[in-house]
Amino acid sequence: MPLAHPVMWGRVCDTRGMEPWHREIVELHELFEGYYLGAIDADDIGRLEAALAPDFTIIGPGGGESSREQTVAAIRGGHAHTSQFTISIVDARLLVESSDLLVARYVEHQETADSVTDRLSTVVFSRAPDAPNGLRWRTVHETWLPAEPNTDTQ
């Protein structure tokens, strides 16, 4: 099923044919992109709230941990803060799947007017029939990727 929110900024990945876990990652990041660009109304983040588990946590690429409430507040605070911003999800892989949990890894590529960053993200989903794509975000851990490939294997 394609995006559940209206897309007005014109840059949308066709998520039909993707596995639900991959579709969920792409669609939620499309929501972030549209929200930060101001293409989505400031009060229209119900999809985000429906996707995050009550005990959701994220460890950002700098090592800080945020709760669900802190994450939602930070996203709300970023509404329409930029006119140039894209997020692309690349190299998405399902690492582990059980009857109640899925673990996936992906690279989140972000571009703004003055920077390009990549972060390696690992997400743990729990199955939840009432959540978008049937999956609820439990935790995410992000790590900055260097601008230049690191040949050090340690």
Residue 14 lies in a domain: no
Structural domain span for residue 133? 20-144
Task: Kindly report the CATH number assigned to the domain that includes residue 33.
Answer: 3.10.450.50
pLDDT of residue 40: 93
pLDDT category at 3 given cuts 50, 70, 90 is: very low
**Structural domains counted in the chain:** 1
Residue 102 lies in a domain: yes
Task: Write down the pTM of the prediction.
Answer: 0.88
Q: What share of the chain is helix, strand, coil (3-state, %, to 5)?
A: 25, 40, 40
Taking the C-alpha atoms of residue 118 and residue 50, their distance in angstroms, rounded to an integer, is 26
**Stretch 67-89: mean pLDDT, rounded?**
96
Residue 7 lies in a domain: no
| Cα angle, residue 50 at apex, residues 88 and 62 outer, rounded to 5° | 50
- Expressed in angstroms, the distance from the first to the final Cα of the chain is 41
Residue 150 lies in a domain: no
Residue 151 lies in a domain: no
pLDDT of residue 128: 98
Residue 2 lies in a domain: no
Residue 48 lies in a domain: yes
Q: What is the pLDDT of residues 98-143, one digit of tens each?
A: 999 999 999 999 999 999 999 999 999 999 999 999 999 999 999 9
Q: What is the pLDDT of residues 57-74, one digit of tens each?
A: 999 999 999 999 999 999
Residue 132 lies in a domain: yes
Q: What is the mean pLDDT of the chain?
A: 90
